[in-house]
């Protein structure tokens, strides 16, 4: 599938940062959703909701450094506001979370 090319200016509009998962829990009443609290260097953790519960247990996510798209418009999912999106590779329908090879400070920009 060929994707439309974008300019470097369009790419630079994406605010991608390293985030450290501080807390993760399954969303009550949902089989697929996990609610995460992620430190992305703002002083207060960001709340994200991700449909990854079929592939990850909440406790294995805590402490992980993940990549977060921080300037995505907030969205309510099952009544919970998600303020960003974690990034993952799609391997035959299975999400594989994007991480960093070294321990870097939360909020570090991804370019």
pLDDT of 57 reads 97
Listed in sequence order, the residues at least 6 apart from 88 whose beta carbon sits closer than 8 Å to its beta carbon are 52, 95, 96, 97, 98
Burial class (CB in 10 A: 0-12, 13-18, 19+), 36: buried
Buried b (16+ CB within 10 A) or exposed e, 76-92: eeeeeebbbbbebeeee
pLDDT tens, position by position, 53-93: 999 999 999 999 999 999 999 999 999 999 999 999 999 99
pLDDT of 2 reads 86
For residues 57 and 52, give the distance between their C-alpha atoms in angstroms, rounded to a whole number: 8
């Amino acid at each position: 599938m060929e994707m439309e090319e974008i300019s470097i200016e369009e790419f630079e509009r994406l605010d991608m940062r390293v985030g450290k998962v501080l807390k993760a829990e399954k969303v009550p009443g949902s089989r697929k959703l996990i609610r995460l609290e992620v430190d992305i260097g703002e002083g207060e953790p960001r709340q994200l909701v991700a449909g990854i519960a079929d592939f990850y247990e909440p406790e294995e996510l805590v402490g992980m450094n993940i990549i977060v798209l921080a300037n995505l418009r907030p969205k309510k999912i099952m009544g919970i506001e998600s303020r960003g999106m974690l990034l993952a590779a799609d391997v035959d329908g299975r999400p594989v979370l994007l991480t960093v090879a070294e321990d870097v400070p939360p909020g570090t920009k991804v370019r």
